[in-house]
Amino acid sequence: MAELTPDPVLYTARATSTGGRGGRAVSDDGILDVALTAPKELGGPGTGTNPEQLFAAGYSACFNSALAGVARREKIDATGSTVTANVAFGRAGDGYALAVELQVAIPGQDVADVDRLARAAHAVCPYSVATRGNVPVTITAVPAT
C-alpha cells in the first residue's frame, strides 16, 4: 500500500518525552503535561498514564470525529456518539505489539447503521489509515447506553 502524506500539512502536534515509561510527556504548548509510569499489570506503580492510554485516547477521539463527519455527510444525527478504544499490549516474536478494538455507539441509531457508519469512518480516520496493515483493529458497533 502506498504511503499517504498530508499535503498541505494543516497542523503538526509536537510532544517530547523523557524517561520512557518512568518519565514525563509534554506538548510544545504545555497543555499536555503528564507523568508516565508503567501500569501495575506490567510491574509498574500505575500512578501515571502510559503510552497505550495516550494512544487509546487519541485514537478514540480521532475516530469519533471521523464518525461525526461520515454521519454528517449522510445527514444522520450522531450527537452523543461514543468511541471506546481498547489498546492491547503484549509480546510478539522478539518484541512487543499492539492490537486495538474500537467500540462505537450512537444514541438513537440501530446497531447495524452504527456498524456501517463506523466502517466508513475507519476508511477515513487518520489513526485508522496510519495503523492499517500494521496493527490489528477490530470495529464493534454496540448499543448506546
Domains of the chain, start order: 1-49 (2.20.25.10), 50-141 (3.30.300.20)
Residues 6+ apart with CB under 8 A from 133: 1
Q: What is the block-wise mean pLDDT of the chain (145 residues), using blocks of 10 residues?
A: 81 96 96 96 94 98 98 97 98 96 98 98 97 97 95
Distance CA 133, CA 70 (A): 22
What pTM does this model have?
A: 0.94
